Amino acid sequence: MKKFALLQVPNNTIVIPEIPSEVKDFKHGYFANSRPDKNIFPGHKKHYHRYMITNEVAELYEIHTVVNNPFYLLYNYYKMNFAYSGAKDHQIAHKGFDYLLNAIVNRELEFPSKRFLFWQFFSFEDGCLMVDYIHRGMDGLNYQEAYTDKMVDLVEDNYGTELLVFGYNFHGFIDTPDIIVGEIDEVKRASIAYDHFTDTVNCDVETESALSLDRLEVNEECLLTEPEGTAPAVEMGLEPFTPESLIEFEEELDKELEDIDDSSN
């Protein structure tokens, strides 16, 4: 039986300050057998140097991760950056959520950006989906009131793929036959791939809402609570996201990187 591992998405709705010793913490890792071109790496530079996961290592673990509604993730990111002066987009956030959202969808490599939000789940070599279980995070903030109609359009236009693939819309969870959540069996794994070089998701979708559409439109009758068989993050024992824990976690990573730099000099 494979050992359990957790892959964390930067600025997602949860961080894990303490993980049981029997669980491998891949932190903000990414899947590659050699360092990818820095010009296409959308994550933080310290993650580039520290957290590469090779195929050989990945094979040893059952890898779990958490995905969240892009509407929630982006608002959560705004709230964190607004509150803390040391956050990367603190000054931009103080110009307003709409201003920050427009900045995000018009930049290339800083996370979050216009690129596919959950790029970490896929191999840099062949674009294969590498995680074994995708949990869907639970929306804890009332983000809907923060969006204008124009901002909703902006998120749907830029992150329609994420919404469709992982089963979300502006109102929360949706349930369609093709969503890539829960246990990733061979059918799901073969149905999706991501090209890091072109920022393109290729996915088999049998619903009327194709990934090529500019907008994701979902019938209101599809709105459901978490579908059966898809364990929410809280069932994994994950702590709810708080800005304080995120800052503490990032400071810990910075300290680890500094220690490595000191030892190499």
Residues 50-81: tens digit of each pLDDT: 789 999 999 999 999 989 899 999 998 999 89
pLDDT < 50 regions, the chain: 15-17, 207-247, 249-250, 253, 256-257, 260-261, 264
Q: What is the pLDDT of residue 212?
A: 34
Residues 6+ apart with CB under 8 A from 161: 116, 201, 203, 211
Closest CA to 226 of 181, 186, 191: 181
Q: CA dist 72 to 51, 146, 171, 173, Å?
A: 26, 10, 10, 11
Q: Where are the domains of the chain?
A: 3-264
The Cα–Cα gap between 188 and 185 comes to 5
Q: Which helix (H) or strand (E) holds 64?
A: strand 61-67
The Cα–Cα gap between 196 and 179 comes to 21
Q: What is the pLDDT of residue 97?
A: 96
Q: What are the residues facing 172 on neighbouring strands? A: 169
Q: Are 105 and 5 in contact (CB under 8 A)?
A: no
Q: What is the pLDDT of residue 39?
A: 77
Closest CA to 114 of 146, 47, 159: 159
Enter the tokens of residue 75: 């608002």
Q: Are 70 and 84 in contact (CB under 8 A)?
A: no
